[in-house]
Amino acid sequence: MRARSDLALLRACLGLLLVLGTLAALLPQPVHAAGAKVVYHADFGDPRRFSSMLTSINNMVMHYSNEFIEYDVRIVFLSHGIRFVTDDPLRNMPFAEDKALKAQRDNLRGRLMALATLHNVKLELCDITRTQVGLDKGKLYAPVTLVPSGVVRITQLQNEEAFAYIKVE
């Protein structure tokens, strides 16, 4: 009788361990274990806001680099965000260069290119936006890759690849 109750207790303990192990595997992993995956949404045209976003991204990647944490940071540009991935003034378009952008373009381009080339921040542009304004692909900054739809790309990164979403206001 005692052997039977000991066996039942052992089975119960093993079952509990199995359940706990399964639950632990389902919990979100800490950033240092899985790395950091972040997507920034750039659909605005304000150069000051873009500058703030670049500062935020730089601070993030520097932290991860200093802590030896792997990261995948992306900026998905759509709508007015197209202004920041080309030197074309986009004249006679809703996204046309204004005085504020013209004054800051060199600085913003330099900071964006440093993030892309030195810190491997990926730059993705909505091809719907590019097509609608008739911008030639050759006028985009070299590190920019096209995605069929910016909002669909952001959704994919969040839902299918577990990216955190940030939109600087």
Tens digit of pLDDT for each residue in 67-120?
A: 999 999 999 999 999 999 999 999 998 899 999 999 999 999 999 999 999 999
Nearest to 89 by CA among 71, 72, 101: 101
- Domains of the chain: which residue ranges? 31-166
Burial status of residue 53 (CB atoms within 10 A of its CB: 0-12, 13-18, 19 or more): buried
Query: CB 116: neighbour CB atoms within 10 A?
Result: 17
On whether the CB atoms of residues 51 and 98 are closer than 8 A, the answer is no
CA–CA distance, 165 with 77 (Å, rounded to integer): 13
Beta bridge partners of residue 145, listed in sequence order: 124
* Tens of pLDDT, residues 145-163: 999 999 999 999 999 999 9
Of 27-31, 55-59, 116-120, least confident by mean pLDDT is: 27-31
Q: Which CATH number fits domain 31-166: 3.30.160.60, 3.40.1260.10, 2.40.110.10, 3.40.50.2300?
A: 3.40.1260.10
Rounded to the nearest angstrom, the gap between the alpha carbon of residue 124 and the centroid of all alpha carbons in its chain is 9
Q: Is 96 left (phi over 0), alpha (psi -120 to 50) or beta?
A: beta
CA–CA distance, 85 with 112 (Å, rounded to integer): 9
Length of the chain in terms of residues written? 169
* Tens of pLDDT, residues 2-21: 666 666 665 665 555 555 55
